[in-house]
Amino acid sequence: MPQTMPKVSTKETKASKKTETTKRAPKEKKDPNAPKRGLSAYMFFVQDYRPKIKNDHPDVSFGETGKLLGEKWKAMSAAEKKPFEDLAAKDKLRAEKDKKAYLATGGGEKKTSKKSKPAVEEDEEDDEDDE
Compute φ and ψ for 21, nearest 5 degrees.
-65, 150
Mean pLDDT of 69-91: 95
CB pairs under 8 A, 24+ apart, for 82-87?
Answer: 84/41, 84/42, 84/44, 84/45, 84/48, 85/41, 87/39, 87/41, 87/44
Q: Which residues contact 99 (CB under 8 A, 6 or more apart)?
A: 35
Residues 126, 73 contacting (CB under 8 angstroms): no
State the chain's mean pLDDT as an integer: 80
Give the per-residue pLDDT at 107.
79
Give the per-residue pLDDT at 15.
55
The larger pLDDT score, comparing residue 45 to residue 9, is at: 45
Task: Identify which of 67, 69, 60, 68 has the alpha carbon closest to the alpha carbon of residue 42.
Answer: 69
Give the per-residue pLDDT at 110.
65
Domains and CATH numbers, the chain: 34-104 (1.10.30.10)
Mean pLDDT of 35-51: 94
CA dist 121 and 1 (Å) reads 69
Give the per-residue pLDDT at 6.
66
- pTM, two decimals, is 0.59
Rg of the chain, C-alpha, whole Å: 28
Give the per-residue pLDDT at 4.
72
Query: pLDDT at residue 119 above 60?
Result: no
